[in-house]
Structure 1
Amino acid sequence: MRESVIYQEILEEGLQKGRLEGRQEGLRAGERLLVLRLLTRRLGDIPQEVRSQIEMLSVEQLEALGEALLDFMEMADLERWITGATDGGSGSPLDLPSAKKSIARVL
């Protein structure tokens, strides 16, 4: 059975799928780690509850958070972003009051 062509094809397909899933999970873990490090540098210690919410984000959400965090001025900005992202909202940094204040100061 192990020598059959069909068995070999199924085995190879399973191995490829496993490698792809491993790469995707590695990418997600790396993005999550980088975002958490940047948030810690920007805002200070991140509460465990907030960390847990960040760990549940998809790769796309982590990428969006990585861009949005540049506009965060306080922990409340991060919390509002997470609420917007996990409630199906955009989590856009422009929805944040402190981001609007920063923009107003520049203008």
Structure 2
Amino acid sequence: MLPLAILANSPERLEVLRQVANRSEEIVEQNIRGNVMAASAVLAGLVLGKDSIRQILRSEVMRESVIYQDILLEGLQQGLQQGLQQGEAILVLRLLKCKFGAISLRTQKAIQQLSTDRLENLGEALLGFTSLADLSAWLQQNKEK
């Protein structure tokens, strides 16, 4: 119930958060303490700014939380996937530029929006392209749905 206290209709929400943090610090078991702190931070984010929350709640304790770890892992996975997709798009665009010269901005944007799998397929397919018309036909057949 401790994390829910911050949602109480109080004009002194910062003080309530301080009290929640102090009470949380009294929890002996690290896992439970980290989860309570993380839940408190999430709920406090609904009514307070992140700077205020960071000043009061110790981030190193929240990092021990399984909730925090799960969110962090999900963010890392998304970041890696986006980086991989962007890297593949850059490589495909560079290969196309080497093979055919300038590529229109519209075509570049279409390529940048392709999934990683489609970019890999395009990377293989472009080896057989003889003109930009082949690229246009491939993009038309392989539009993201």
What's the TM-score, normalizing by structure 1?
0.76
Query: Cα deviations across residues 38-59 of structure 1 (Å, max 9, x unaligned)?
Result: 0001111001111111011000
Q: Larger Rg: 1 or 2?
A: 2
- Give aligned pairs, total: 88
RMSD, aligned CA? 1.7
Percent identity between the two aligned chains: 38
Runs of 4 or more consecutive aligned structure 1 residues displaced over 4 Å after TM superposition: none
Q: Give the 5 Å matches for 1:46-85.
A: 46-85=103-142
- Give, as a single letter, the amino acid of the residue that structure 2 aligns with 1:48: L
Contact 2:114–2:144 (CA under 8 A) maintained in structure 1: no
Q: 1:68-103 CA distances to partner (integer Å, 9 max, x unpaired)? A: 000011110000000000076xxxxxxxxxxxxxxx
Structure 1: which amino acid aligns with 2:66? E
Structure 1 stretches lacking a partner, 5+ long: 89-107
Q: Secondary structure at the match of 2:130?
A: coil
TM-score (norm 2): 0.57
- Distance in 1 of aligned mates of 2:95 and 2:76: 29
Pairing of 1:1-107 with structure 2 (within 5 A): 1=24, 4-6=33-35, 7=38, 8-86=65-143
